[in-house]
Chain A
Amino acid sequence: MSMRSKIAVIGEKESVLGFKAVGFDVHEVTDPREAEDIIDRLYTQNYGIIFITEQTLAPIASVLDKYKDRELPAIIPIPGRQGTMGLGMSNVKKSVERAVGADILFKD
């Protein structure tokens, strides 16, 4: 089974502007609350992947849990213009903790 789908990018303007050039659907937001609504809306429009900058995601990180166990969409944090906040990595770490019960990959 395969179907056509789309890719979206959500984030602050100065971070996501460039993604337009490669054909992603870019949603510029100024307020993270907006981003939450956009994600909910994109979910109903069967988007496959939603990239979101960590700066935008940080205040609304609970949306990750909301869509975590669904096959689609994949919500993937990417660093924003101001650099990485480690949110994306901690997300990977979280799934390790969930599966193994302890963090065995990232101890440092």
Chain B
Amino acid sequence: MAILQVNPTRMELSRLKTRLKTSTRGHKLLKDKRDDLMKKFLELVRRNKELREEVEKKIMGVYDGFAIASAVMSPEMLEEALMLPKEQVELEVGSANMMSVDVPVFKFTQSAGGEGDIYPYGLVSTSGELDDSVAALKEVLPALLELAQMEKSAQLLAEEIEKTRRRVNALEYVQIPSLQETIKSITMKLDENERGNLARLMKIKDMMVAQQRQAHGQ
């Protein structure tokens, strides 16, 4: 691991030690965050999978209904019947915070134009099959919206997990080791200086003693 390019001084040493402490703490926190995100995500995505299977099946059923309806009605009539919807779907988009990730929350309100039935057409020129399939589609709606919300949340969580994992890895495999090595190398250099200094002092002392002895001897 690369050693940081810094001056080997005590000042620098204590600065690096603080940074190491912060990094280690950050690493632990991010790791916890990643694990928690993962737990939430897996839970979510498992439900997402189930819901999607369910919704896909239901939608296929609805299509079959429409296919039958279009078989007994002429395509023009069918199109005409559905041209002017009576129902209005209003989507309200809120925002929820899931582990510091902003995920959308969909709430929808259906406002029927008139009172009574949901069918946007008269009953004379249309078939009962069409009624059934419109009703069936309406029933799938809540599940469809829940699916949308869930899949979006899963995507956003996946992104956050990826980001967090990168940060954890950067700290664990780059930042922290390089700080540790730099601290070690500075400590060694300082110790080396200390020993050098001590050796020099002893040498000087020896020289002074020898000098004094010579002076006395004369």
- Using CB atoms and an 8 Å cutoff, list the residues of chain A in contact with chain B: 1-7, 14-15, 17-24, 48-49, 51, 68-69, 71-72, 74, 76, 78-79, 81, 83-84, 88-89, 91-92, 95-96, 98-101, 105-106
Contact A23 B85 (CB under 8 A): yes
In the bound complex, CA of A49 to CA of B162 (Å):
24
Given A2-B92, A17-B66, A18-B66, residue A95 in contact with residue B154 (CB < 8 A): yes
Q: A2, A3, A49, A71 — which one has the most chain B CB atoms within 10 A of its CB?
A: A49
Given A7-B89, A68-B159, A98-B159, residue A84 in contact with residue B60 (CB < 8 A): yes
Contact A5 B85 (CB under 8 A): no
In the bound complex, CA of A88 to CA of B157 (Å):
17
In the bound complex, CA of A69 to CA of B148 (Å):
14
Contact pick for A21, options B52, B137, B155, B165, CB 8 Å: B137
Contact B104 A74 (CB under 8 A): yes
Query: Which residues on A sit within 8 Å (CB–CB) of B103?
Result: 71
Q: Which residue of B lies closest to A91 (CB)?
A: B151
Q: Chain B contact residues: over half helix, strand or loop, or mixed?
A: helix
Given contact pairs A14-B70, A21-B82, a sample of 7 additional A-B residue pairs in the complex whose CB atoms are under 8 Å apart: A6-B89, A22-B110, A23-B110, A48-B91, A98-B162, A99-B41, A105-B45
Contact B162 A99 (CB under 8 A): yes
CB distance from B140 to the nearest CB of A (A): 9
CB distance from B81 to the nearest CB of A (A): 8
In the bound complex, CA of A71 to CA of B144 (Å):
18
- Indicate whether B29 reaches chain A with its CB closer than 8 angstroms: no
Contact A24 B102 (CB under 8 A): no
Contact B89 A71 (CB under 8 A): no
Interface residues on B, range: 35 or more
Query: Which residues on A sit within 8 Å (CB–CB) of B16?
Result: none
Q: Which residue of A lies closest to B64 (CB)?
A: A81
Contact B89 A2 (CB under 8 A): no
Contact A89 B120 (CB under 8 A): no
Q: B63, B133, B156 — which one has the most chain A CB atoms within 10 A of its CB?
A: B63
Contact A21 B59 (CB under 8 A): no
In the bound complex, CA of A83 to CA of B137 (Å):
16
In the bound complex, CA of A50 to CA of B114 (Å):
27
In the bound complex, CA of A5 to CA of B200 (Å):
80
Q: Which residue of A lies closest to B55 (CB)?
A: A78
CB distance from B173 to the nearest CB of A (A): 15
Contact B102 A71 (CB under 8 A): yes
- Indicate whether B88 reaches chain A with its CB closer than 8 angstroms: yes
CB distance from B119 to the nearest CB of A (A): 8
Q: Which residue of B lies closest to A98 (CB)?
A: B158
CB distance from B156 to the nearest CB of A (A): 7
Contact A4 B155 (CB under 8 A): no
Contact A4 B92 (CB under 8 A): yes
Contact pick for B60, options A4, A22, A49, A83, CB 8 Å: A83
A-B contact pairs, 9 of them (CB 8 A): A2-B94, A4-B90, A14-B70, A17-B79, A23-B89, A49-B91, A74-B106, A99-B157, A99-B162
